[in-house]
Amino acid sequence: MVFLLAQEPPAVPVYSASGEKSGEVKLPRVYGLPVRIDLIRRAFLSEFTARLQPKGRDPMAGKRTTARSFGVGLGIARVPRIPGLGRAAFINSAVGGHLAHPPRVEKRIHEEINKKEKRLATASALAATARREFVERRGHRFTSEAVPVVIEDEAEQAISRVRDARALLEKLGVWPDIERAKERTRIRAGKGKRRGRRYITPRSILFILGSHTSPLARAVAGLPGVDVADPWHVNVLQLAPGGVPGRLTVVSRSALEALAKRFDSIILA
């Protein structure tokens, strides 16, 4: 299954560990694919629901009671009542009664998608990261010359501290997006705030690096809204959070080559 390019991928600057330009590199052909928003949203829904854990109720919940109907002729409703008390039980409108339509374990919550369709959606979401208009539409703040921002492989190994990573990101012009994520971090509304997910943090920069355990990956992993992925496993959940394409991305040169090997087979030369 092959697809035609929507445009020829541009050449973007490459930055060293010091944040200075060290040359240019032409983006792989996958960055020239058309952005299929419909496919991206469908693939996002499929991957998101695949991670949901099935939940349900005990079939006997609310039904373990001695309640029975007193019958007719008493001038009261014929609902099950607890002997000796007369209090209604068992029915869904009674306190402690069973739920009318409880969640069921057998419910199919995973929205399935074809493999080729999912692969094209991932490639399309990756192509959106090279379109400045899509990145700006998502609300990212950056002043970089081009997107995605490409760095040399040496930077991935040379930078191991957060202060050095911040200095590099400031020179690359993408640090304002980290500040945006920090400013907009807020307390969740509802019961989730007392269930281990108290805060909501917007997504900021996605780092696609040769290894998610490299020194740079460890240095940036704790920054607000940052995700780190390797080129062979990056997916729509990371490239298009919420099904909205155009995430601000920082890619290493070796990761670009791996992305080309992963996706070039679906592109018509």
Angle 97-103-109 (CA atoms, 0-180°, nearest 5)? 175
Please say whether the beta carbons of 40 and 124 come within 8 A: yes
- H helical segments located in 12-109: 37-50
Q: What's the pLDDT score for residue 195? A: 94
Quick: pLDDT tens for 116-131.
999 999 999 999 999 9
- What the block records as the tokens of 242 is 């919420």
- Summarize pLDDT for 189-210 with one digit per residue, the tens: 999 999 999 999 999 999 999 9
Sheet holding 249-252, edge to edge: 21-26, 11-15, 149-151, 249-252, 206-208, 227-229
Domains within the chain, CATH numbers bracketed: 11-51+115-266 (3.40.1370.10)
pLDDT tens, N- to C-terminus, the chain (269 residues): 556 677 889 999 999 999 999 999 999 999 999 999 999 999 999 999 999 999 999 999 999 999 999 999 999 999 999 999 999 999 999 999 999 999 998 999 999 999 999 999 999 999 999 999 999 999 999 999 999 999 999 999 999 999 999 999 999 999 999 999 999 999 999 999 999 999 999 999 999 999 989 999 999 999 999 999 999 999 999 999 999 999 999 999 999 999 999 998 777 55
> How far is it, in rounded angstroms, from Cα 103 to Cα 29?
46
Q: Which of 205, 243, 244 is nearest to 227 (CA)?
A: 205
Q: Which two tokens stand for residue 159?
A: 């930078």
